[in-house]
Structure 1
């Protein structure tokens, strides 16, 4: 069991979670696609009792059966939770400070999967630090890119 920290992009919402395993999954269901604005959402299933909100998130009732934690300041999607009857919830993998710890083990909502986005290893790759226009914007802003 590992105690792991995480939160939103702006830092307003923070959580701590007792994580039993690095096993996570990709959800491709239309609700996750729409709530995240992405083709899939990387999630970690966890017992609600193992999650401690240091600064509470806002909640969006995304359907008659579910709600989703998020930050109303920066818009970060933080997970998924059935409205009632479940001791479990899901947290977004990328919201964890150490997202590299997690590994995908399966797909869910496969009926809405966008196959073309699954294996993109053959596409050209550009590292952020190598893209000069981006680095110049950070410099002009007097700031540094997030780590």
Structure 2
């Protein structure tokens, strides 16, 4: 069953046939720098199974790779080798419902930050219960993003 996704502002949208079991975490330095995070969650897809309903911009992040993104809001949407191979990766967080994705492996482990892997011992706070944030959404006249 195809899954849909896109960027934060809604300018870029896609539909993709993916297997949620093909998700993984990439820890390589290129992905860390491209996202500003310690890792990124990707799902592998056949390029022919990805349809851009409204296309992304592309950034040549190295001589061997390019990355789809939205130039309006900055959302990173994936990774693809520059030679336009048969496969590409899509960012799990850009899917409309990423809840059924589960990572099957880690990649780029030479750059892995172990302290960020198991955070189950840390306190947890809900965004919708943080008064400062709730007040700012109310003052803006907009609604916070849905779960």
Q: What's the TM-score once normalised by structure 1's chain length?
A: 0.97
* SS of equivalent residue, structure 1 residue 137: helix
CA distance in structure 1 between the partners assigned to 2:57 and 2:7 by the alignment:
11
CA distance in 1 between counterparts of 2:136 and 2:76 reads: 26
| 1:123 corresponds to | 122
Correspondence for 2:93: 94
Query: Structure 2 matches for 1:17-96, cutoff 5 A?
Result: 17-84=16-83, 86-96=85-95
CA drift at 1:85: 5.5
Q: What is the alpha-carbon distance in structure 2 between the residues aligned to residue 17 and residue 123 of structure 1? A: 34
- Counterpart residue number, 2:136: 137
CA distance in 2, matches of 1:105, 1:22: 7
> 1:113 offset after TM fit, Å?
0.2
Structure 1 residue ranges (4+ consecutive) displaced by more than 6 angstroms after TM superposition: none
CA RMSD of aligned residues (A): 0.9
Deviation at 1:130?
0.9
Q: 2:145 maps to which residue?
A: 146
Per the alignment, do residues 46 and 121 of structure 1 end up closer, same or farther by CA in structure 2, a change over 3 Å counting? same
The number of equivalent residue pairs is 146
Partner in structure 2 of residue 5 of structure 1: 4
Question: What runs of 5+ residues in structure 1 fail to find an aligned partner?
Answer: none
SS in 2 for 1:43: strand
* Contact residue 41 and residue 92 of structure 2 kept, 8 A: yes
TM-score under structure 2 length normalisation: 0.97
